[in-house]
């Protein structure tokens, strides 16, 4: 800079301390913008130099960006007063009526911020009418991959104690409830028949993690049971669940959650235009920031341009607005947020992408590939739901990374950029909106979505395999292994070290099995040859003995062929050929032709235990299989019989079901009837039952109801339903009882089933044919 000769400004020069805007910035696209910042020029004989604007560096940012508002930000949380009042009002009602309160809204609607910076501070201010509620202890948690461990940590237990306590609580829910009250100092629940009361507030944010992060169905059900018991009128707690809207159907698969939804969830409504203005202006006013005329209007206009008219379809885009506001604060001019500064950020649509791309572009080229590896592991690629973020243990992520140093640099840079969040043990995307708003990440996912699903399933299976002590039973087999090996053949470098070890072990196990099978075939073939030679020798000795021995040997080979036909069609066919060559009788020829016309069997992997009953849908594209011992129903897409595909997870029956004995599809294939025996069938006690499931979305069946069985005097408690059939028009369902009776129901409305008449008097055959 050019220097001047005195402290006093020259007559023709600007006044002393007049601000100048002299900063230029370039984004990844190469464009240069003029931004107003805190640059001041001092003129005098000491020269020209920059000095900070008065107090500029001391102005805090009242906009957290992608990070949800929490208790530390409550003084800047505006625009949601109406929803805070509604949630508190409904919590008071749920405390009297019992059951969890479900807060439901789309991703990006602000559920986490509403609970942490709105509802919880309001409760501290005494917004619940109950006496002393402002001082009730609070448990705030997200389920993570281990809900029991998360609950123990939320109760304040240290990491070591929590790891010891979690399995104890899982095994004994009653002990869990008692110790929670003891640890938190919550009041004892009201006695049975007493007035409803609560002394504990439980908030479960991002409750959808029980479906996305927790792969243990038993632990998922355990958490739901514990929360339901806490939320009963005599349970001693008010429970609030924050759930993403696209997991509504998954919640309905659980009776306790279905009851909570039936009682009435709180729907997180879009913010009105006035509420959005408050959310923009009032935090700035709290810290002494000014907002340039026109900036609020520009923000609302672009927010509406992105998602429709303001206040109608902007709900899921609030994180975009929050990030743009924080980026605009970083480009402020003195104490003023300006339109020019906002434009520099890339606006609502581009601010997140510009931030992410800037962080990505500053990485060395080898580290950019590590960024792709890291982010794909921080995403749960959805099959029947939107993609969502995955919480991953930091040390495990680095341990399995192909380049540990590069992965650590990526995590550190993006954490400093507030796009990732790290706590003591885990790392997670700060908000799921990053998946939608960063085109590069979106492209990584969509470039090979099916391959990403294969990789995701493979790495999840590898993690479970390691947790199980690398048991052989956890390894991939058959078609699933072949699919994974085919994908890994071209994408092996993208796998974690655990997944590579898992695949290598599975392949070794497969090859060992193949060697054993080949050895068995060779042994049997050798025996057959030896038997043939022995038969020839015997023929020379004595024709009658020869024929008898030949028949015995042939009978043994034939018997082995018949016995192996259900389990190993290929070996069965080889033995049938040997039998034919030994004695080319019409029966042997018929058996040989039969084996040639029989396709190789396709084994459907599933839960352990005996499959007692199966049923095909009318169009033949779907197969249902009932597991007798584990009481699960598995649905398969068998459009291509050679490559069946499992539809979602196995459908669990409630715990009262003892056995599944019969399945039947409605003529249109949209309803599945499940019959068997239950230890508790409503007022009827134990006995037969029928459940009707909606298959509108086969990957997420929804229980429609359990029709009440007509009374069959003397048989209800001991009998079971062993056969089901729909009438051709789909309006009537018939059930065959073990006792020899038939029940009929009118299923024109599957959600409101009524008996179609009294059961017939005479005993009928148990098996019903449609």
pLDDT band at 682 (very low <50, low <70, confident <90, very high): low
pLDDT band at 198 (very low <50, low <70, confident <90, very high): low
Residue 192 has pLDDT above 80, yes or no: no
Mean pLDDT for 30-36 is 43
Beta strand pairing call for 632-637 and 622-627 = antiparallel
The 10s digit of each residue's pLDDT in 561-582 is 777 776 677 777 778 788 778 7
**404 DSSP assignment:** H
pLDDT value, residue 6: 34
Measure the CA–CA gap between 653 and 348, rounded to whole angstroms. 47
For the structural domain made of 611-757, what CATH number should be given?
2.130.10.10
Q: Is 143 helix (H, G, I), strand (E, B) or coil?
A: coil
Closest CA to 146 of 54, 248, 222: 222
Burial of residue 447, with CB atoms counted within 10 A of its CB: 0-12 exposed, 13-18 middle, 19 or more buried: exposed
For 260, the token pair is 């909570």
Gyration radius (Cα) of the chain, Å: 34
pLDDT band at 197 (very low <50, low <70, confident <90, very high): low
Query: Does the CA dihedral 352-355-361-364 come out positive or negative?
Result: negative
For 582, the token pair is 């030994």
Beta strand pairing call for 721-726 and 702-705 = unpaired
Measure the CA–CA gap between 407 and 480, rounded to whole angstroms. 30
Mean pLDDT for 126-153 is 92
Tracing tokens 């053949």 back to the chain, one arrives at 489
Give pTM, 2 decimals: 0.54
Strands annotated E in 4-48 = 23-26, 32-35, 40-42
Closest CA to 514 of 571, 561, 454: 571
694 Cβ contact list (under 8 Å, min separation 6): 670, 671, 701, 702, 703, 704, 750
**Residue 661 contacts residue 612 (beta carbons within 8 Å):** yes
Question: 37 or 145: whose pLDDT is higher?
Answer: 145
Asked whether the domain spanning 611-757 has the same topology as the one spanning 80-267, the reply is no
Q: Is 40 helix (H, G, I), strand (E, B) or coil?
A: strand
For 605, the token pair is 């992997």
Mean pLDDT for 191-197 is 52
So where are the chain's domains?
Answer: 1-57, 80-267, 273-352, 505-597, 611-757
Q: Does the domain made of 80-267 have the CATH classification 3.40.50.300?
A: yes
> Across the chain, what does the average pLDDT equal?
80
Buried b (16+ CB within 10 A) or exposed e, 680-710: ebeebebbbbbbbbbbeebebbbbbebbbbb
């Amino acid at each position: 800079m050019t220097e001047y000769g005195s402290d006093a400004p020259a007559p023709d020069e600007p006044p002393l301390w007049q601000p100048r805007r002299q900063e230029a910035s370039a984004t990844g696209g190469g464009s240069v913008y003029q931004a107003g910042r805190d640059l001041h020029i001092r003129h005098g004989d000491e020269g020209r130099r920059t000095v900070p604007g008065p107090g500029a560096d001391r102005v805090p940012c009242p906009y957290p960006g992608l990070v949800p508002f929490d208790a530390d930000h409550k003084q800047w949380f505006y625009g949601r007063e109406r929803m805070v009042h509604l949630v508190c009002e409904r919590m008071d009602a749920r405390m009297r009526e019992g059951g969890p309160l479900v807060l439901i809204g789309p991703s990006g609607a602000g559920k986490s911020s509403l609970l942490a910076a709105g509802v919880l501070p309001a409760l501290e201010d005494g917004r619940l009418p109950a006496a002393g509620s402002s001082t009730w202890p609070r448990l705030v948690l997200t389920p993570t991959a281990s809900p029991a461990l998360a609950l123990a940590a939320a109760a304040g237990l240290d990491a070591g104690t929590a790891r010891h306590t979690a399995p104890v609580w899982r095994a004994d829910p009653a002990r869990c409830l008692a110790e929670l009250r003891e640890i938190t100092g919550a009041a004892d629940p009201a006695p049975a028949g007493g007035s409803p009361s609560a002394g504990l507030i439980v908030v479960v944010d991002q409750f959808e993690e029980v479906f996305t992060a927790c792969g243990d169905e038993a632990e998922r059900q355990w958490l739901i049971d514990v929360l339901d018991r806490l939320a009963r009128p005599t349970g001693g707690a008010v429970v609030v669940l924050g759930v993403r809207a696209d997991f509504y159907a998954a919640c309905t698969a659980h009776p306790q959650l279905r009851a909570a939804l039936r009682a009435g969830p709180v729907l997180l409504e879009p913010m009105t235009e006035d509420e959005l203005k408050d959310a923009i202006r009032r935090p700035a006013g709290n810290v002494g920031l000014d907002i340039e005329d026109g900036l609020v209007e520009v923000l609302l206009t672009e927010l509406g341009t992105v998602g429709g008219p303001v206040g109608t379809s902007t709900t899921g885009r609030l994180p975009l607005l929050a990030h743009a506001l924080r980026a605009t604060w970083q480009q402020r001019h003195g104490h003023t947020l300006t339109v020019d500064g906002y434009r520099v950020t890339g606006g609502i649509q581009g601010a997140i992408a510009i931030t992410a791309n800037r962080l990505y572009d500053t990485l060395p080229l080898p580290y950019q590939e590590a960024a792709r590896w890291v982010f794909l592991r921080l995403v749960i690629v959805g099959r029947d739901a939107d993609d969502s973020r995955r919480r991953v243990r930091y040390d495990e992520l680095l341990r399995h990374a192909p380049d540990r140093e590069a992965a650590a640099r990526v995590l550190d840079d993006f954490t400093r950029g507030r796009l990732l969040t790290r706590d003591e043990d885990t790392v997670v995307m700060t908000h799921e909106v990053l998946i939608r708003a960063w085109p590069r990440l979106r492209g990584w996912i969509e470039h090979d979505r099916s391959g990403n699903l294969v990789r995701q399933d493979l790495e999840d299976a590898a993690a479970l395999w390691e947790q199980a002590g690398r048991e052989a039973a956890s390894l991939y087999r058959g078609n699933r292994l072949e699919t994974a090996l085919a994908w890994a053949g071209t994408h092996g470098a993208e796998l974690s070290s655990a997944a590579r070890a898992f695949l290598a072990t599975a392949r070794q196990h497969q090859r060992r099995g193949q060697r054993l099978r080949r050895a068995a075939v060779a042994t049997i073939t050798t025996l057959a040859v030896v038997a043939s030679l022995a038969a020839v020798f015997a023929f020379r000795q004595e024709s009658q003995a020869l024929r008898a021995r030949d028949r015995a040997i042939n009978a043994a080979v034939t018997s082995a062929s018949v016995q192996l036909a259900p389990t190993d069609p290929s070996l069965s066919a080889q033995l049938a050929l040997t039998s034919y060559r030994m004695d080319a009788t019409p029966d042997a020829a018929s058996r040989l032709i039969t084996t040639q016309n029989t396709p190789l069997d396709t084994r459907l992997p599933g839960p352990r235990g005996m499959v007692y009953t199966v049923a095909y849908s009318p169009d033949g594209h779907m197969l249902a299989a009932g597991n007798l011992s584990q009481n699960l129903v598995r649905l398969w897409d068998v459009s291509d019989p050679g490559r069946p595909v499992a539809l979602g997870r196995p459908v669990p029956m409630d715990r009262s079901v003892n056995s599944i004995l019969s399945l039947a599809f409605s003529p249109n294939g949209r309803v599945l009837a499940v019959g068997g025996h239950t230890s508790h069938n409503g007022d009827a006690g134990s006995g037969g039952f029928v459940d009707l499931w909606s298959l509108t979305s086969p990957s997420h069946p929804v229980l429609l109801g359990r029709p009440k069985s007509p009374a069959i005097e003397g048989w209800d408690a001991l009998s079971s339903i062993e056969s089901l059939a729909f009438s051709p028009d789909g309006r009537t369902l018939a059930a065959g009882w073990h006792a020899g009776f038939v029940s009929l129901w009118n299923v024109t409305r599957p959600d409101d089933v009524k008996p179609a008449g009294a059961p017939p008097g005479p005993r009928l055959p148990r098996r019903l044919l449609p």
